[in-house]
Structure 1
Amino acid sequence: MKSVLLAFALTLFCSLHGFAQSTCVSLEYEQQETRRDPSILYRMQQPLAGSGSFNSEVISGAIGSGSLSVIRIPVVVHILFNKGEQNISNEQIMSQISVLNNDFRLVHKDTAQIPLRFRSAASDVHIEFVLASVNPQGYATSGIVRKQTSSISFGMDDKIKFSNAGGDDAWDSDRYLNIWVGNLSAGIIGYSSVIGADKLRDGIVVRYTAFGNAGTVQAPYTKGRTAVHELGHWMGLRHIWGDQFCGSDGVDDTPQQGNATRGCPTGVISTCSNLPLGNMYNNFMDLTNDECMNMFTNGQRDKMRASFAKGGAHNALLSSNGATGIPLPEVAPVAPAADIAIRMYPNPAVNAVTVDISKCENLIGQFITIHNHLGQQVSQVKITATLTTINIQSLNAGMYFLKAGKQGKPYKLLKATGVTTP
């Protein structure tokens, strides 16, 4: 039993998706985590926690109104940056959310590349991801937290997950999926927390050059599959080769295979007497290049969804309101353009925001007001000049709406934490 638990622990701790020389510090991480919390290994072997072989009958019909009802997960993305290039754009973040939804719903553009011999096993997982619209304090949010850090890079020690260590604290993991993005140490492309571990560490970590399919991404991680892979671990999946020669991933419909696959192979590759199918190297839980990953199996789908069943590690997320807050009002764009009467900067802002009404001087003498997502006024400043600076230090982080004058359009204002760049 001890050897089985150790093998499974190594599997989840070794959720790295990197180059051939990638550093897998699974043993060190396991020792660190079990010293901190010796009960982790016990919790990992409990039913629905992700250990052992999965029996689909245990979970059938247990989620929502049916076993294939769509599960929607509120996401918060923590961006930790030391240099400007690491402060990735909203567009890059949104590209990753799009990749997750396309891959977990099996509607991505690479479905035609799934080998014919595996197409009957390819699965729509019926899981979707949406950026949070309400933060833990109940205020509107973009679901993105940006924070400048003095840390040049982060390792597998989870410092990226704690503000007092140069990272950013997790949001309540019973309500949100936490994704941390930053500059990781050489050889580390991403990793996942362990089912049954500390909730303050719950979530996945991804290198900023492997997040999404735009912006700063670098080959061979240009299609956002690192986060897909790590979320597989987060929901209880093991590497497809079982992290040992001809090992088992605990899923019946993934062929046994000898080791991890690198690069972008083609044709039937046989190991562990797995003919006629051969290795399923195109599976998201192998380590091929992003462009060559394209499927989860039906068995993997069932195992991932089991983590949301009653008693499962992520069951609480089913009742989260993190992405179902009061709908936000239609707002004017924030980018300066010829047809926009006012400008405000910086946005996002931390301490203060400056409003420029030079194109609309008739507003002098009226008021600039800021409202929260409930429509409640939280700040008011009289306009006495074309430039007005408003102190927003007392506001909680999140999304607000700024209006200049009684008839002014609402403009979206993001109050950030830490340090932002204009």
Structure 2
Amino acid sequence: MKIKFFFILLVFSNVTFGQKTSPFICGHDHVMSINAQNFPDYRNRVDKTFEIAYKNMENGGARNETFKIPVVVHIVWKNNEENLHDSLIHSQIKVLNDAFRLRNENRTDIREIFKDLQADAEIEFELKDVIRVKTTANFSLSLTDLPDDVKRPANGGSSAIDVERHLNIWVCKIQPIPFIGGQILGYAYPPDGLSNWPDDASAPSKNLEGVVIDYRVFGLNNPNKLTVNGTTHQSSARTTVHEVGHYLGLRHIWGDGGGLFGGNSCNVDDGITDTPNQGTQSAGGCNKNSNTCIDLSNDLPDMVENYMDYSGEDCQNTFTKEQVALMRSVLRNQRKLLTNIQQDLEITGVKIWPNPCHTHINIALNDSKPTEVAIRTLDGKLVLNYKIQGTDVISCEGLSNGAYILELVNDTMHKVVKLIKVHD
């Protein structure tokens, strides 16, 4: 298969002619098409980053370490049922770990022809924090915007926590796709590899990095059901696995071919050589007889067991060896800081102590640039604001007990950390 591939504009992938599709979709196509509208070079940058990660797969695939990714989960809720219990959050982390370590119970359900392709990614996820924000906002998709307000406190969302060193997952109610029906279950930003670009350059903000998931498909045995046009989505908490795959650089297994009107597109693929050529997405279920591309040599059926298809969640059980190698390459390169977190931030030239704070906070920077320091509530309300240079001490005596967001901004840095205030 090709290493170089092209994204096909797929505005709404549940609108097709002569083709059965699922009303429940991933928002990856929308991330690509909407960002391409706003940032004309976005597709080229993401394509180029994929190629670089692909070329570096030999190192990324080396099995000399297990990557551990710290996770922050933001529960952004309006109605009580959206404020998910901690048990659902922990169960979702377990599903992620089982999938990426090939410990999932259904891993043996893969067909014999694909068994040798299964791989343990040796990637693990550690829950570092849960941030809960009550909101009055609705989070909707349009032809020009993603539901990224869930990441913006001023618009009813929750601020990302240090996106270079944490996987941020926002869980909220994603509104149905307007006018045509259908439902996005989640979406993620793929790595574009250009973290050195200034904030006003032609690239999406780094603070949008992460995964967004509808609250009804997050966690095992979620009591909240998602029904669209009389069809109820059967969730096994694998939507998050799929979206984290995108976050770590994977494409849909069919390469997003077919365009707006559907149909097979066997000349477009996912850039991974050990996934079979597939002409279109599965429409849920687990049709192991499906073969949407007939290859002249080494013809294989569609790999509906793959996490990057749209097959039913109970059907999905596998990342391939080359998919694993690509994700590990991304973690050694474009997302390398994810697996090297230091809680005191010394690695980034910032040290903050004590945290939790009682009466004051010491902030030490590795340069003397003027820096804005803001302390906000978890819903984004500004509580305190300071300007510092180099090393300084700021008071936290006026804060009530609880958790806050501490933000540091200057012309070369934007860092966000969680601050805890306690009284003696």
TM-score (norm. length: structure 1): 0.67
Give how far 1:117 is off.
1.4
Q: Greater CA radius of gyration, 1 or 2?
A: 1
Aligned partner (choices 109, 130, 137) of residue 151 of structure 1 = 137
CA contact (8 A) 1:178 1:203 kept: yes
1:193 aligned partner: 189
Letter in 1 for 2:47: Q
User: Structure 1 residues 68, 239: CA separation in 2 closer, same or farther (over 3 Å shift)?
Assistant: farther
CA contact (8 A) 2:403 2:421 kept: no
Letter in 2 for 1:161: K
CA contact (8 A) 2:254 2:270 kept: yes
Is 1:40 the counterpart of 2:42 in the alignment? Answer: yes
Any stretches of 5+ residues in structure 2 without a counterpart? 14-20, 177-182, 193-203, 226-231, 258-264, 347-352, 356-376, 380-395, 406-417
Where does 1:122-271 land on structure 2 (aligned, <5 Å)? 122-132=118-128, 143-155=129-141, 156-186=146-176, 187-196=183-192, 197-218=204-225, 220-244=233-257, 245-246=265-266, 247-271=268-292
Q: Which moved more, 1:109-118 or 1:202-211?
A: 109-118
CA distance in 2: counterparts of 1:76 and 1:163, whole angstroms: 16
CA contact (8 A) 2:26 2:185 kept: no
Aligned partner (choices 336, 340, 348) of residue 315 of structure 1 = 336
Identity, % of aligned positions: 29
Give how far 1:101 is off.
0.1
CA contact (8 A) 1:12 1:233 kept: no
User: Structure 1 residues 173, 395: CA separation in 2 closer, same or farther (over 3 Å shift)?
Assistant: closer
Give how far 1:300 is off.
0.4
Letter in 1 for 2:42: I
Aligned partner (choices 89, 95, 98) of residue 94 of structure 2 = 98
1:76 aligned partner: 72
Is 1:273 the counterpart of 2:272 in the alignment? Answer: no
CA contact (8 A) 2:305 2:317 kept: yes
User: Structure 1 residues 51, 221: CA separation in 2 closer, same or farther (over 3 Å shift)?
Assistant: farther
Letter in 1 for 2:254: W
Between Structure 1 and Structure 2, the one with more strand by share is 2
CA contact (8 A) 1:78 1:181 kept: yes
Any stretches of 5+ residues in structure 1 without a counterpart? 133-142, 329-348, 352-377, 380-389, 404-422
CA contact (8 A) 1:68 1:126 kept: no
Give how far 1:25 is off.
6.8
CA contact (8 A) 1:191 1:204 kept: yes
Q: CA RMSD in A?
A: 3.6
Is 1:8 the counterpart of 2:7 in the alignment? Answer: yes
CA distance in 2: counterparts of 1:27 and 1:101, whole angstroms: 26
Q: Which secondary structure state, in structure 1, belongs to the residue aligned with residue 293 of structure 2?
A: coil
CA distance in 2: counterparts of 1:44 and 1:106, whole angstroms: 28
Give how far 1:33 is off.
2.1
CA distance in 1: counterparts of 2:345 and 2:88, whole angstroms: 23
